[in-house]
Structure 1
Amino acid sequence: MEFPYLLTTLLLLASYLITTHFLRRSSNLPPTVFPSLPIIGHLYLLKLPLYQTLAKLSAKHGPILRLQFGFRRVAVVSSPAAVEECLTTNDIVFANRPKMLFGKIIGVNYTSLIWSSYSDNWRNLRRIASIEILSNHRLNEFHNVHVDETRLFIRKLLFGFNSGSSQVTMKVSFYELTLNVMMRMISGKRYFGNDNLELEEEGKRFRELLDEMLLVAGTSNVGDYLPVLSWLGVKGLEKKLIKLQEKRDVFFQGLIDQLRKSKGTEDVNKRKTMIELLLSLQETEPEYYTDTMIRNLVLALLGAGSDTSAGTMEWVMSLLLNHPQVLKKAQNEIDSIIGNNRLVDESDIANLPYLHCIINETLRLYPVGPLLAPHEASSDCVVGGYNIPSGTMLIVNQWAIHHDPKVWDDPETFKPERFEGLEGTRDGFKLLPFGSGRRSCPGEALAVRMLGMTLGSIIQCFDWERTSKDRVDMSEGHGVTLHKAIPLVAKFKPRLEMTKLLSEL
């Protein structure tokens, strides 16, 4: 009795596979991986780290690859030509974001700069971020914040060294530095390195909130691809998300309320924080600049500008400790251009090309987002001669491009010199650490300033070395961003050339 049922099942499965195969060929869809199983599609293939798994599949099946993640059609692109076609020719088509659970971490109901659908509302959010908040003019107004926090960071390292501590955990130090910079720009508050216990406690809650957000954001939600699991009651992640939203809203609403109460008592000559600027816009357009909108916009800027910058700086220092000749060359450049009589300033970064090369090479080897935030096709389009149906989720695997031997000579080797002569942080579509097109990162200029200022300063002021003869472990951790699996602990001492200047700090 069991044989007829087994035979029927096999015939149905064979019919499904044959039908989907001929459908793809007749529809001129991109190549795919055989087999795509009923219901789950290609989910069975996915292993961590996802960017490496997808890179291996693309190397075997082609730079434009069609996959099926449960109910979602997915196109994975992993060549500069394919990415350029997606984000230039078809930029408007791919300007949307897929609706996914972890997108809500950044913005309730997708009213955020990162996860909103492409619409008039999103375009206005982008305009506000690019012109009102993150323009060069506005960043120049916060120049003293960047300089002040960098100087305080150097003083903290000096104090530790003079107290007998010549080692530092780089990620923690960089994280607190970037959070201080961002929060002073956002709300005027400096949380870490204060004598104010109340602020320190608030800063501790703030950091725990951000760490929890990153942890939840890096958690895979199978319900995004197999909705039936959510219907059956798999709601654990969603419950965590709701609690997280409540906590983050309470925290950021508190900042908004404090600044609203102080309005009218502040120094008229004092620059406005980001929240104060948005509150002033709220007075003229209260229906649009709601507190919810302000919370979401500020949170998106904070999330994109803190952990990512700190992580990149940790990768840079790890690479420099494993390549001391590169570190020495960077110090020589700074000594030659800046000298030993003053500290590096933001305005000097453009005149330090080798430092730019180091940062670009680090972003190539260890891109903050190895997979760019996903896009979604709003209509049918053609990429690389293949038809991409409307509703397809686009995954740009920049890690695969950055490590492709067809694109880069000796791609696994750290060679900053390969970027000599390149201005900015892009090399066509071979290097795109901040994305490209309409959905590119609006905070690129801020990130470049923070990276250059911080790294230039600590390279100028200190000699750095490993804590042992062993090379720094470069293992990659798992999560929403690409971070080191083992935090970097580095040994340092003030440079003799800088003794006089550092004694004056």
Structure 2
Amino acid sequence: MIEAYFSHLILLLLIFIIPLIVFMKLLNKTGTKSNLPPSPPSFPIIGHLLMLKQPLHENLQKLSQKFGPVMLLHFGVRKFVVVTSLSVVEECFNQTNDVVFSNRPRVSAAKNMTYNFSSITVAPYGDLWRALRRVAASEFFSTTHLAATTHSREHEVKLMCRQIYNESQKSQQVVELESKFRGLMNNIITMGFIGKRYFGGDLMIEKGDVEVAHRFQEIMEESFTQINAPKIEEFLPFLKWVGIGRTREMESYELMEKTNELLDEFIRERRRKGCSGSGLMVDSLLALQDAEPELYTHDIIRSHILAIILTGTEAPNFALEWTMSLLLNNRKVMQKLKNEIDTKVDSNRLLQEGDLDRLSYLQNVIDESLRLYPPVPMLLPREASKDIMIGGYSIPRGTTLMVNAWAIHRDPVLWDNPDEFIPERFGEKLEDKYKTIPFGVGRRGCPGMNLGYRVLGLALGTLIQAFEWETIGGGEIDMTASYGDLLMCKLKPLQALCKPRSNMIAHFL
């Protein structure tokens, strides 16, 4: 993927080698030069860009074993410090240093999609970000709001199970699960934001929304394609002089035109209905706009809706798919989980969110799956707002911090048999909260962590309660991963054989 750009780069280096070297030297004059972290040998101009090969988290883990748990890399004009040590992660995100690392690096390719960096995911640490975070935490992810919307999530899981049941009856028990999981996560988010669902076909989409649903699905697919695309021109800005990245930039403008049109339809409809007490996020944002129009502008509302939909769907979808795949490959674990659910949940009804606190082994299974297959194996990057000392090394202002969560999750110093799926290891509370960090950490950790755990527990528990599961042909599920710039998903979408348990059929008719 990265290698495809280097045929262009070689020609450019021959033409521009002398001025580029001068340019790089000037750029590198900023920041602290003494006591920098160790760094592997690099090439002129491109630095360590040839090391940007997937799986990135595994390649960086191998490098850290040679150069240390705090390592400095140069990707073109940008400096990165890569951390793979639990103790250094704790240092990075203690109360003092977390503030220094509370900015996101600006990536020009994200400018359009984040409305000039005003999205909660990338907004600079400051008043705007705090306001957006506060709205998300109080209006959508608070314990009170989650308790009030339990029935909605239970209903969405039941609809997904009905889909699975119907498909299993038509296809000799073979069911494709990846699209069902994606639809579930999308519908839970959009039902909470605008009171509508856009995945699941005629069974789940209102007749008047079919055309809108197709547009929404298309926009979501294009958005994730753009988010996960390689962006080599961000590290070598001179590539833009010859047009590299221009096609993606045009595609981004076109995508945002379609996105804005759709989001504006949502906003206008909610304005017309005027349901300020509905509990939907859009209505809460519109009420805030009426009170503080200078802060909650139209673009801010757009950016907030889009950011929550994008961040709240794919990662939980991948997490559910990885977890179900692990259970299908570990029959004893699946049976133990099924026994727990059968023992602690009334057999005459479907599992409810209120049952989750009693299902400790279910929580252990989810924690262990997130340890082995964190959907975001390299945590979303941070940027140092000033010079700082980390792990005994000087980190210059403007350096991007990359935390290799995958490496920490599989560190043999921290975990016995780190590559094995052993949910029992979570039977006792972890001594250190940073040993598993699938939702990020610190001020810019995922605000939807509690919702994520609720949805994963409810969906996975209901699937195990309601159906008998087998792999197709009796073999093992292929656990090969596919990688984008941020996310780690399964290369082959999950398919399995399922048969409804006799006492559950009535719930799906």
Q: Taking structure 1 as the reference length, what is the TM-score of the superposition?
A: 0.91
Structure 1 residues 343 and 26: CA distance shift in structure 2, 3 A: closer
Match of 2:317 in 1: 310
Percent of paired sites with the same residue: 40
Match of 2:210 in 1: 200
Kindly indicate whether residue 328 of structure 2 is the aligned counterpart of residue 321 of structure 1. Answer: yes
Q: How does 1:402-413 map to 2 (within 5 A)?
A: 402-413=409-420
Match of 1:428 in 2: 433
Deviation of the 1:197 alpha carbon: 4.0
Q: Equivalent residue of 2:483, what SS?
A: coil
1:351 to 330, 353, 358: 358
Larger mean Cα displacement after TM superposition, 210-219 or 133-142: 133-142
* Cα distance in 2 for residues equivalent to 1:157 and 1:72: 47
Deviation of the 1:162 alpha carbon: 4.0
Unpaired segments ≥5 residues, structure 1: 1-16, 18-22
Match of 1:3 in 2: none
Equivalent residues of 1:106, 1:114 under 8 A apart = no
Equivalent residues of 2:89, 2:403 under 8 A apart = yes
* Cα distance in 2 for residues equivalent to 1:486 and 1:60: 33
Equivalent residues of 1:194, 1:200 under 8 A apart = no
Match of 2:46 in 1: 40
Q: Equivalent residue of 2:415, what SS?
A: coil
Equivalent residues of 1:42, 1:70 under 8 A apart = yes
* Cα distance in 2 for residues equivalent to 1:316 and 1:220: 27
Kindly indicate whether residue 151 of structure 2 is the aligned counterpart of residue 144 of structure 1. Answer: yes
Match of 1:362 in 2: 369
Q: Equivalent residue of 2:131, what SS?
A: helix
Deviation of the 1:311 alpha carbon: 1.0
Kindly indicate whether residue 465 of structure 2 is the aligned counterpart of residue 460 of structure 1. Answer: yes
Q: How does 1:91-490 map to 2 (within 5 A)?
A: 91-104=98-111, 106-163=113-170, 165-192=172-199, 193-194=203-204, 196-234=206-244, 235-263=246-274, 271-422=278-429, 427-479=432-484, 480-490=486-496
Q: What CA deviation, in whole Å up to 9, does each residue of 1:190-213 have, x standing for no partner?
A: 223336444233212211111111
Equivalent residues of 2:31, 2:396 under 8 A apart = no
Match of 2:499 in 1: 493
Equivalent residues of 1:147, 1:346 under 8 A apart = yes
Kindly indicate whether residue 64 of structure 2 is the aligned counterpart of residue 58 of structure 1. Answer: yes
Structure 1 residues 121 and 196: CA distance shift in structure 2, 3 A: closer
* Cα distance in 2 for residues equivalent to 1:186 and 1:30: 44
Q: Equivalent residue of 2:481, what SS?
A: coil
Equivalent residues of 1:301, 1:443 under 8 A apart = no
* Cα distance in 1 for residues equivalent to 2:127 and 2:205: 45
Q: What CA deviation, in whole Å up to 9, does each residue of 1:75-118 have, x standing for no partner?
A: 00011111111111410110011111343364111101001111
Larger mean Cα displacement after TM superposition, 195-204 or 345-354: 195-204
Equivalent residues of 1:105, 1:213 under 8 A apart = no
Larger mean Cα displacement after TM superposition, 149-158 or 365-374: 149-158
Q: Equivalent residue of 1:418, what SS?
A: helix
* Cα distance in 2 for residues equivalent to 1:164 and 1:233: 48
* Cα distance in 2 for residues equivalent to 1:103 and 1:380: 26
* Cα distance in 1 for residues equivalent to 2:304 and 2:459: 25
Kindly indicate whether residue 68 of structure 2 is the aligned counterpart of residue 67 of structure 1. Answer: no
Equivalent residues of 2:82, 2:401 under 8 A apart = yes
Structure 1 residues 336 and 388: CA distance shift in structure 2, 3 A: same
Q: What CA deviation, in whole Å up to 9, does each residue of 1:179-198 have, x standing for no partner?
A: 11111111111223336444
Equivalent residues of 2:55, 2:483 under 8 A apart = yes
* Cα distance in 2 for residues equivalent to 1:97 and 1:51: 19
Q: Equivalent residue of 2:187, what SS?
A: helix
Q: Equivalent residue of 2:490, what SS?
A: coil
Kindly indicate whether residue 509 of structure 2 is the aligned counterpart of residue 502 of structure 1. Answer: no
* Cα distance in 1 for residues equivalent to 2:250 and 2:385: 30
Q: Taking structure 2 as the reference length, what is the TM-score of the superposition?
A: 0.90
Q: What CA deviation, in whole Å up to 9, does each residue of 1:136-182 have, x standing for no partner?
A: 11122221210111122222223334445412111101111111111
Q: What CA deviation, in whole Å up to 9, does each residue of 1:452-471 have, x standing for no partner?
A: 11111111111111011221
Equivalent residues of 2:174, 2:495 under 8 A apart = yes
Match of 2:10 in 1: none
Deviation of the 1:495 alpha carbon: 2.0
* Cα distance in 2 for residues equivalent to 1:105 and 1:385: 38
Equivalent residues of 2:386, 2:396 under 8 A apart = yes
Equivalent residues of 2:72, 2:81 under 8 A apart = yes
Q: Aligned Cα RMSD in Å? A: 2.9
* Cα distance in 2 for residues equivalent to 1:481 and 1:353: 28
Q: Equivalent residue of 1:477, what SS?
A: strand
Structure 1 residues 253 and 195: CA distance shift in structure 2, 3 A: closer
* Cα distance in 2 for residues equivalent to 1:258 and 1:503: 33
